[in-house]
Amino acid sequence: KAGVTQTPRYLIKTRGQQVTLSCSPISGHRSVSWYQQTPGQGLQFLFEYFSETQRNKGNFPGRFSGRQFSNSRSEMNVSTLELGDSALYLCASSLVLAGGRETQYFGPGTRLLVL
Protein backbone atom coordinates (compact mmCIF):
# COMPACT_ATOMS: atom_id res chain seq x y z
CA LYS A 1 0.00 0.00 0.00
CA ALA A 2 1.18 3.52 -0.67
CA GLY A 3 1.99 5.55 2.42
CA VAL A 4 0.64 8.89 3.51
CA THR A 5 1.42 11.59 0.96
CA GLN A 6 1.58 15.31 1.54
CA THR A 7 1.77 18.15 -0.95
CA PRO A 8 3.54 20.39 -1.40
CA ARG A 9 6.73 19.30 0.33
CA TYR A 10 8.14 22.81 0.63
CA LEU A 11 6.48 26.18 0.64
CA ILE A 12 7.62 29.77 1.09
CA LYS A 13 5.05 32.42 1.90
CA THR A 14 5.07 35.96 3.24
CA ARG A 15 3.35 37.29 6.32
CA GLY A 16 -0.35 37.91 5.87
CA GLN A 17 -0.79 35.37 3.09
CA GLN A 18 -2.74 32.16 3.46
CA VAL A 19 -1.72 28.61 2.66
CA THR A 20 -3.43 25.29 1.99
CA LEU A 21 -1.69 21.98 2.62
CA SER A 22 -2.95 18.64 1.37
CA CYS A 23 -2.78 15.13 2.78
CA SER A 24 -3.76 11.82 1.21
CA PRO A 25 -4.08 9.04 3.78
CA ILE A 26 -3.24 5.39 3.37
CA SER A 27 -5.99 3.63 1.44
CA GLY A 28 -8.73 2.51 3.82
CA HIS A 29 -7.73 4.88 6.62
CA ARG A 30 -10.54 7.21 7.54
CA SER A 31 -8.91 9.15 10.36
CA VAL A 32 -6.51 11.97 9.51
CA SER A 33 -4.64 14.00 12.10
CA TRP A 34 -2.47 17.08 11.64
CA TYR A 35 0.53 18.16 13.71
CA GLN A 36 2.86 21.12 13.77
CA GLN A 37 6.53 20.63 14.58
CA THR A 38 8.79 23.52 15.56
CA PRO A 39 12.18 23.53 17.32
CA GLY A 40 10.74 25.45 20.26
CA GLN A 41 7.39 23.76 20.84
CA GLY A 42 8.09 20.32 19.43
CA LEU A 43 5.26 18.26 17.97
CA GLN A 44 1.83 19.66 18.69
CA PHE A 45 -1.56 18.30 17.70
CA LEU A 46 -3.66 20.56 15.49
CA PHE A 47 -6.84 18.60 14.73
CA GLU A 48 -8.24 15.24 13.71
CA TYR A 49 -10.88 14.36 11.15
CA PHE A 50 -12.92 11.22 10.74
CA SER A 51 -15.63 10.73 8.15
CA GLU A 52 -15.47 14.40 7.16
CA THR A 53 -16.06 15.55 10.76
CA GLN A 54 -13.59 17.22 13.07
CA ARG A 55 -13.53 15.06 16.18
CA ASN A 56 -10.75 16.68 18.11
CA LYS A 57 -8.90 19.97 18.10
CA GLY A 58 -5.68 21.16 19.67
CA ASN A 59 -4.93 24.52 21.20
CA PHE A 60 -4.33 26.61 18.09
CA PRO A 61 -5.94 29.87 16.99
CA GLY A 62 -8.84 29.95 14.57
CA ARG A 63 -6.46 30.88 11.75
CA PHE A 64 -5.74 27.16 11.55
CA SER A 65 -8.55 25.19 9.99
CA GLY A 66 -9.03 21.98 8.14
CA ARG A 67 -11.44 19.77 6.34
CA GLN A 68 -11.78 16.23 5.12
CA PHE A 69 -13.35 15.04 1.90
CA SER A 70 -15.48 11.99 1.26
CA ASN A 71 -12.42 10.10 -0.04
CA SER A 72 -10.69 10.78 3.31
CA ARG A 73 -8.19 13.21 1.79
CA SER A 74 -7.67 16.19 4.06
CA GLU A 75 -6.55 19.77 3.72
CA MET A 76 -5.46 22.24 6.32
CA ASN A 77 -5.50 25.98 5.84
CA VAL A 78 -3.62 28.69 7.67
CA SER A 79 -4.83 32.23 7.09
CA THR A 80 -3.03 35.49 7.82
CA LEU A 81 0.34 33.79 8.15
CA GLU A 82 2.71 34.87 10.92
CA LEU A 83 6.46 34.32 11.16
CA GLY A 84 5.83 31.87 13.98
CA ASP A 85 3.84 29.62 11.65
CA SER A 86 7.09 28.51 10.03
CA ALA A 87 7.20 24.82 10.82
CA LEU A 88 7.06 21.28 9.55
CA TYR A 89 3.41 20.28 9.19
CA LEU A 90 2.82 16.57 9.49
CA CYS A 91 -0.22 14.60 8.58
CA ALA A 92 -0.98 11.14 9.93
CA SER A 93 -3.62 8.61 9.05
CA SER A 94 -4.95 5.64 10.96
CA LEU A 95 -7.56 2.96 11.02
CA VAL A 96 -10.09 3.42 13.79
CA LEU A 97 -9.66 0.37 16.00
CA ALA A 98 -11.01 -0.58 19.37
CA GLY A 99 -8.88 -1.65 22.26
CA GLY A 100 -6.18 0.99 22.02
CA ARG A 101 -4.56 -0.53 18.94
CA GLU A 102 -4.75 2.56 16.75
CA THR A 103 -1.41 3.35 15.07
CA GLN A 104 -0.84 6.66 13.34
CA TYR A 105 1.24 6.58 10.17
CA PHE A 106 2.89 9.82 9.22
CA GLY A 107 3.58 11.45 5.90
CA PRO A 108 6.88 13.16 5.00
CA GLY A 109 5.56 16.58 6.00
CA THR A 110 5.27 19.99 4.40
CA ARG A 111 7.97 22.45 5.42
CA LEU A 112 6.50 25.95 5.50
CA LEU A 113 8.70 29.02 5.71
CA VAL A 114 7.01 32.36 6.37
CA LEU A 115 9.07 35.44 5.50
Give Cα separations from 69 to 22, 53, 66, 76, 83 (angstroms).
Answer: 11, 9, 10, 12, 29
Q: Point out which span in 10-18, 53-61, 64-72, 73-81 binds other proteins (CB under 8 A).
A: 53-61
Q: Does 102 bind other proteins (CB under 8 A)?
A: yes
Q: Does 103 bind other proteins (CB under 8 A)?
A: yes
Give Cα separations from 86 to 11, 18, 29, 78, 110 (angstroms).
Answer: 10, 12, 28, 11, 10
Q: Does 28 bind other proteins (CB under 8 A)?
A: no
CA distance 18 to 33: 20
Q: Does 72 bind other proteins (CB under 8 A)?
A: no
Residues that bind other proteins (CB under 8 A): 4, 31-33, 35, 37, 42-45, 48-50, 55-56, 58-59, 88, 90, 92, 94, 99-109, 111
